[in-house]
Structure 1
């Protein structure tokens, strides 16, 4: 799910586009078009997902995806499984929540104070008003009342709406009164009181985003402009001047701020008068232009990029492997040796592979090694200071942003450097756990979540591991390794709380699962492994048990597959 900050940023971009479109077309297009656009912006700000579109502006920033995947690195010492304990609530979350509640309380206090004035109002008993209501009947019962506690007409209530008039208002001017009732009835028909509540709620959630404040002000203005337009469509263009005079007279008397009620008179009077005097007849061309604007803005700015397939150089097969050199002190017929580093290396490739050259060449122009400059670029770009304590949400966003940076695939860019380093990185390299575990897992988590949003189906990230055991023997002083069993596997998991799960805890979960797989093989004698006809099934059961034991309240193990398993007696 998208975080609140992500929703606010993308929603803010959409609001900025709507503001520009509004400035250019507010007096040229039907006002309803802008109400529809504000509704789209509200959805973008409150819905933690979005629909994919090939035409989305975010397509240009779509990440290329993981093109080289390697098994994870099992550290020599894995800490016991367990949860993180009582994680503290981030201070930023506390501040956000406190301010959001403060704004919500202010809105409610203003509204509840106004409600006390509503209760002392009395029904308007006027033949003209009664006849007007009869001609404009709705399914919801509408009341017209008056009160000496208000100075300007307004509407409140959603299911049982009330048009409240000032007691001092001269109701003998039926033309003027008809304008007022028509305007307020337009609010009622469109459920504007409800939309004002939604706008206020979104403002409370996104109080830190100045563009949301802009949306709140302009959307409220457009509710009034649209009602003005509705009245004049009904009354005719000849009513523009008297309607504008009615508006001016009521604005002069308004004294109260009512953020959750639909008021006849609002701020930005000059904008309203200008819009009234420039109102035009509705034409097919105008409707088509408004529809095109709504569709274009929604498609380009309110959607996410459509997923695209990832290509690139395939990862080396983990089954073709040798392990680091064994210790010469291993005794003949000794116990099974745990593989140092826990991950197989790519067979028959040069090492060390750090060069001072370009790192390019070889068959099909594929690189044959990585340079020190490429290695340093990858580490300096991706290894953020204090990353271990970052939440998964923050770290994965940073990793994704790094790979979406300008010049990703340019010559000398971090994309090419990363691909090359990943192809030839030694598992004994000090940064191998970071690149092969931390970064690979974060990339897959981001991609899995993206695919889940696009497909509306659950997609769990997966992680690959390798477990191997050897027996070391001495032949006239030469140490030989006899490979007994090897297993390549993939397991899936689910992040339950992306904001509380830290990178350190996620990596520990991965370590605990890999350690459990390795421990299963280490705990068997060569004979037991070689004679076990159901070795693959037993290994999978052990892997599942390790995954469930490694789960915490923030991350869970969801399944596994054994990609390759074999127990055999051979020498290397």
Structure 2
């Protein structure tokens, strides 16, 4: 689990950092719609990682071969391997963060339900979704993934018909595009990688791009005066609007200037074929990146022993000054336990076999997703120490 998190954190940091750094150029050359859809790179990356984990990996044979030649320096003491398990500590800290994120989501869900219970239903001739008003709502918002509703502030009726129409169209476009589902998925990704500051910046930028895209859709057919009115409404509702996890945030003072400036420029439309092509490219890029990371990870022997038990040197062999080796084959479970130990070759035959097998069964390997079958190791039993340039397990009498 921790290995997967480390791999994905590296890749997500590269993607998020690239999108954040190039955001202004992307907005200028691609427009608000396509820039918003570029965030599909994040789920494409994670989905490709899951595909790589489920499908047989082309690097599995390389991993087994590398483990077949696994050895350690003779100078390494067995006791030094049994050190503090920092992986468990990190996992505990990560779980605390995940739990806190889910608690925050739950509290917002409870708050929205409380508002909806006391909200007053209103009718609007241009609204296709149920519409409600509540005095505690400071900015128009879309709520409800299964039963979507539009929540409006108490002063909504004071707006002109054009202003009301643009706000309703804005929230209904959120619903048409299933933005609430996208927001929930984005928050779940953020929950998994809460420890990565780039993910927080990317999440906020994603939500802002979502609003810019909706603005571009609603204002593309408005006249200059109507756009001015739309800007004034944005200004009014952005002063007290809050960033919500389970609803859209029509007013957003953090990017208010950006939203108003966008209306002065001609926006590029969103092409279905362009978005599909972009999604495919992002998915293939994610698969390629995951292949490179997995290949690099295998090169560093991800499945390695955490605890090694040194075999007992047979007394009779020590008295006879006999040296030798035992080549062993075994399986490693996902939990790191060793099983199915068998002797491939030994010299002298049957002298050191029992001691080597007994010790190897007590080894403990690092936890992994699938474990490993057919791992191999050679244990060298030597009276004299080996050459200094050879890595091996030294078994002393």
Which one of 246, 269, 281 corresponds to residue 260 of structure 1? 246
Alpha-carbon deviation of 1:255?
A: 4.3
> Are the equivalent residues in 1 in contact too, given 2:328–2:342 (CA < 8 A)?
no
Which one of 335, 350, 354 corresponds to residue 522 of structure 1? 350
Which one of 288, 305, 319 corresponds to residue 303 of structure 1? 288
Aligned to 2:231: 244
Going from structure 1 to structure 2, the CA distance change for 1:246 and 1:73 (only over 3 Å counts) comes to closer
C-alpha RMSD over aligned residues:
5.2
> Are the equivalent residues in 2 in contact too, given 1:51–1:303 (CA < 8 A)?
no
Going from structure 1 to structure 2, the CA distance change for 1:492 and 1:443 (only over 3 Å counts) comes to farther
Alpha-carbon deviation of 1:111?
A: 3.6
SS of the residue 2:8 aligns to: helix
Alpha-carbon deviation of 1:196?
A: 1.8
Structure 1 gaps of 5+ residues are 53-62, 134-141, 308-395, 402-441, 450-471, 473-478, 525-538, 562-572
> Are the equivalent residues in 1 in contact too, given 2:48–2:286 (CA < 8 A)?
no
Aligned to 1:330: none
Matched ranges for 1:445-460 at <5 A: 445-446=301-302
Matched ranges for 1:39-438 at <5 A: 39-44=40-45, 48-49=49-50, 90-126=88-124, 128-129=125-126, 132-133=127-128, 142-170=129-157, 173-233=160-220, 235-236=221-222, 238=224, 239-252=226-239, 254-267=240-253, 268-282=255-269, 303-304=288-289
> Are the equivalent residues in 1 in contact too, given 2:141–2:248 (CA < 8 A)?
yes
Which one of 471, 485, 493 corresponds to residue 331 of structure 2? 493
Going from structure 1 to structure 2, the CA distance change for 1:199 and 1:227 (only over 3 Å counts) comes to same
Going from structure 1 to structure 2, the CA distance change for 1:177 and 1:92 (only over 3 Å counts) comes to same
Alpha-carbon deviation of 1:230?
A: 1.4
Rounded Cα–Cα distance in structure 2 between residues aligned with 1:87 and 1:160:
47
Any idea what the Cα deviations from partners look like across 1:15-67, whole Å, max 9, x if unmatched?
11111231212143232322322122244358744769xxxxxxxxxx9x989
Rounded Cα–Cα distance in structure 1 between residues aligned with 2:207 and 2:245:
9
> Are the equivalent residues in 2 in contact too, given 1:46–1:202 (CA < 8 A)?
no
Rounded Cα–Cα distance in structure 2 between residues aligned with 1:557 and 1:95:
28
Any idea what the Cα deviations from partners look like across 1:539-563, whole Å, max 9, x if unmatched?
9xx9xx98995686967673489xx
Aligned to 2:30: 29
Rounded Cα–Cα distance in structure 2 between residues aligned with 1:520 and 1:121:
85
Across the two proteins, how many residue pairs are aligned to each other?
A: 348
Alpha-carbon deviation of 1:224?
A: 0.5
Rounded Cα–Cα distance in structure 1 between residues aligned with 2:122 and 2:8:
46
Structure number with greater Rg is: 1
Rounded Cα–Cα distance in structure 2 between residues aligned with 1:493 and 1:262:
51
> Are the equivalent residues in 1 in contact too, given 2:40–2:279 (CA < 8 A)?
no
Rounded Cα–Cα distance in structure 1 between residues aligned with 2:203 and 2:91:
23
Which one of 549, 558, 563 corresponds to residue 373 of structure 2? 558
Aligned to 2:16: 15
TM superposition score normalised by structure 2 = 0.67
Any idea what the Cα deviations from partners look like across 1:134-175, whole Å, max 9, x if unmatched?
xxxxxxxx3111112212210101111000111222266221
Going from structure 1 to structure 2, the CA distance change for 1:549 and 1:37 (only over 3 Å counts) comes to same
Any idea what the Cα deviations from partners look like across 1:382-440, whole Å, max 9, x if unmatched?
xxxxxxxxxxxxxx99xx68xxxxxxxxxxxxxxxxxxxxxxxxxxxxxxxxxxxxxxx
> Are the equivalent residues in 2 in contact too, given 1:74–1:515 (CA < 8 A)?
no
Any idea what the Cα deviations from partners look like across 1:504-549, whole Å, max 9, x if unmatched?
xx8xx59x9477964994169xxxxxxxxxxxxxx9xx9xx98995
Any idea what the Cα deviations from partners look like across 1:211-266, whole Å, max 9, x if unmatched?
11110110010110111111123x345443332222223224x3444232112112
Rounded Cα–Cα distance in structure 1 between residues aligned with 2:40 and 2:165:
29
SS of the residue 2:30 aligns to: coil
Going from structure 1 to structure 2, the CA distance change for 1:108 and 1:211 (only over 3 Å counts) comes to same
Higher helix share: 2
Rounded Cα–Cα distance in structure 1 between residues aligned with 2:153 and 2:215:
20
SS of the residue 1:148 aligns to: coil
SS of the residue 2:156 aligns to: coil
Rounded Cα–Cα distance in structure 1 between residues aligned with 2:333 and 2:342:
18
